[in-house]
Amino acid sequence: MKRLSLYLFLILFTLQAPSWADDIRDFQIEGMSVGDSLLDYFSEEEIKDNTNTDYYTNNEYTSVEFFELPSFEIYNAVEFNYKTDDKKYIIAAIGGTVFCEKNIEKCNKKQKEIDSELSNMLKKSQRVDDKGKHSFDKSGKSTFVHINFLLISGDIVTIEILDWSKKITNEKRWTDNVNVSFRTKEFNDFLKIAFK
């Protein structure tokens, strides 16, 4: 029970947004927000060393991911996206991931906790739930669950669970996880063509 209370406190502390929040810039993941410059937190060399090369087939945006940094208090990994030609590295999307290795129930529980907090904060947004088989896994054994909050601004907040099949976990070393992300409308529109 003590651990759950600590986790809920950390979610409240990390999200740091008023109950009427309708701007994703009001939210923080590990102290960082959409609209911030990555250079306020990392050197250009660190950013380049952690860039996911060839992640998107369309290179309008660049993905950067940091794993298990000592400064991370809640998440195992944090991913950022910025416009590739932006020399200020302004964050257009940020997501925090908690790994749930061999314990999908842990992911389900965390998603429910995060959902409860965000639902209270994003009352003016439209909620869209979605689940299904992950398109990456042709066997159909990997699944996803999405909870999306569509803000009036067009920005989006997503809580996602990825439950990878044993085969994908063994071959790719991908771990089941729960992720919360904050994305600008522009970046979300880009995702529709990012892998084409």
Q: Across the 196 residues of the chain, what is the mean pLDDT of every consecutive 10-residue run?
A: 40 44 86 97 97 87 95 95 97 96 88 92 92 87 94 94 90 91 95 82
Residue 151 lies in a domain: yes
Residue 196 lies in a domain: no
Residue 145 lies in a domain: yes
Domain count, the chain: 1
- Residue 151: per-residue pLDDT: 94
Write out 2-43 in H/E/C secondary structure: HHHHHHHHHHHHHHCCCCCCCCHHHCCECCECCCCEHHHCCC
Residue 17 lies in a domain: yes
Name every residue whose Cβ is closer than 8 Å to that of residue 87 and which is 6 or more positions away in sequence.
none
DSSP letters for 69-85: -TT-SS-SEEEEEEETT
Per the structure, the complete domain to which residue 19 belongs is given by 2-191
Residue 9 lies in a domain: yes
Residue 175 lies in a domain: yes
Q: State the residue for tokens 């911030």.
A: 36
User: Are the C-beta atoms of 160 and 182 separated by less than 8 Å?
Assistant: no
- Residue 8: per-residue pLDDT: 42
Residue 154 lies in a domain: yes
- pTM (two decimals): 0.84
